[in-house]
Structure 1
Amino acid sequence: MSLAGPEPREYPPVREGAPLVVFDFDHTLYDGDSGGHLFKWLIKRRWWRIGLALLIAPVFAPMIAFLPTRRVGISAFVWAGTIGFHRRRDLDALIDRYVALHTGVIKSHLLPIALDVLHGHREAGDQVVVATGAPPELARAILAFVAHEDVPVVGTQVGPRFGAVVATRHCHNEMKMVMLREAGFTAPVAIAYTDSSADLPLLLAARKPVVVNPKADRVEMFRGVLPPGTPILNWGCPGRAGEPVR
C-alpha cells in the first residue's frame, strides 16, 4: 500500500520546450546512501538475516567498492534483506513501512539547499527528474512523504531472483542515461546535478554539469574531465568537498 502523506507541493505545469534537469539522489538531495540505510534496516529486522549478511560479507562487501562488480555486491545484501519475498510489490510495501517508521531521521538527511534548487527548477516550469541508483520506490516515497514532492524518479529495477527480491538492472553509470531515455526523458540534458564520478556519462551529456558534494579525492578528476568553470559545490553535506553554498 502506498504511503498516505501530506499533499505534494503545487507547481506550474512543465512549459513547452522546457529544459531537462536531472538530479541524482544520494549525496545530492539526500545526505548519505538511502538504499544502504534501507537495506541495513531490512537485514536488522531478523537475527538470522544479520547472520546471513555477516556470512556473505567477506565475499560481497569488497565488490561494492568497484564499479564493474558493484551491482553484484549490492544485490547480495539486498538478497539477504529480502529472502523469502518473491514480488516487487513486497519490497515496495517494506519501503513504504521503512519510510513511515523513520520519517524524522530521513528528513534530517534531506539537504535543504538541494531541495531549494529543485523547487526553483519546478517553479520555473522546467522538466525535472531524479535518476538514482536506489530503488525508485524508495526515492519516490522519501520525496513524496517527507519532502512533499511528486517529482518523477528513474531508478534501479528490482525483481524476484534466488528466492528474494534483488536488483535486476542497476541505474548506474552509462545505464543511467539509457534508463532515462527509455523512461521517456529524451530531450537533451540541460543541467545535471550529481556527486558521483560514476555519473560522468550524465555530466558529460549535460549542457551545464554541476558537481555537488563530491568526495575530496575526486575533485581534481572532475576538474580535469569536465568543461572549465564547471561548478563544484557543497550543498551542506558534511564530510564532502565543494564550494560551500549559503
Structure 2
Amino acid sequence: MARPRNRRKPNATGRSDTSRFVRLDYRILGSNAYRSLSPNGRSLLVELVMLYNGENNGSLYLSVRDGAHRMGVADLTAASRAFDDLVAMGFIELAQEAHFKVKASETSRARCWRLTWLVGPGRTAPSSQFLEREPEPQTPARKRMERGQRALKAYRKARDGSKLPVLDCDTIGHFDPDLAPGAVLDSDTPNMQNGSFQPKSSIQDSATHIATTMGSGARRNLIGWWQPDFTPQLAALTFAAVLTSNHRSMAA
C-alpha cells in the first residue's frame, strides 16, 4: 500500500504547497507614494498582490466592481478612485483594457494589471515607478504622506534610542507569585482604639469563642450568642494546684 504523501513537505523548488503569503517589501511600505495612499488604495494594493501567483504578473484581472467587493466597500466610485491612485503613484500599470461582448460566443474580460516592482510578461524588467512618485503639494494625499513619514521618523528615532513606549512603561511592575503577602504588622491602621497594641501578623487556631446556634447543645446556652471558653483559666488553676501539692510534699 502506498504511503500517504506528506503535503507539508517543501517541493523541489523549496516552496510549500500548503502556505502562501503576500509579499510587500519595506521599500514599498516606507515610500512616499505608499504613505500618500488612502486606506482604500492600500487595501486594493493588497488584493492585487493576492492575485499574483509568481508567474502571472501582467495578467492580474480585476474589475472595479470585483475590486470594491474584495475591499469591502459598496461605493464603486471609491474603488475606481483607488485604482487611479495606484496608477498615479506608480504601483500598477494597465496591461490590457477591459473587453466585453454581448454575444455569448464572445469572451469577456476585466481590465488586466501589472505590478511595477515585479518582472512583467516577456521577462520585462520591473520599473518600480512608485519610488520616484509623490503627490502634488497642498493635496490631501500630500498631507497623508507627510503625516505618515513623520510618524515613521519618530518611530525609528525611538527604536534606535531604545526609547519605545512599551520598553519604558512601568505601569505593571514585576509580580513574583512566590512572594508571601505582607504581614499585618506592616499596616498603618490607627491603634489608639485597641489599647496601643500592635496587630498580630498571624492568628493561631483558637476555640476561645464558640458560636452556639440552633442544634445540639442549644438548650443549655443562649441561642445565637457566644459561649465563652474557660480553658485557659482551668489550665492556670490546675497548674497552681500542682505547685501547691509539690510544695506540701517537700515540706512534709
TM-score using structure 1 length: 0.21
User: Higher helix share goes to which structure?
Assistant: 1
If the length of structure 2 is used for normalisation, what is the TM-score? 0.21
More contact order relative to length (CA 8 Å, sep ≥ 6): 1
Give the number of the structure whose alpha-carbon radius of gyration is greater. Answer: 2
Instruction: Report the structure, 1 or 2, having the larger strand content.
Output: 1
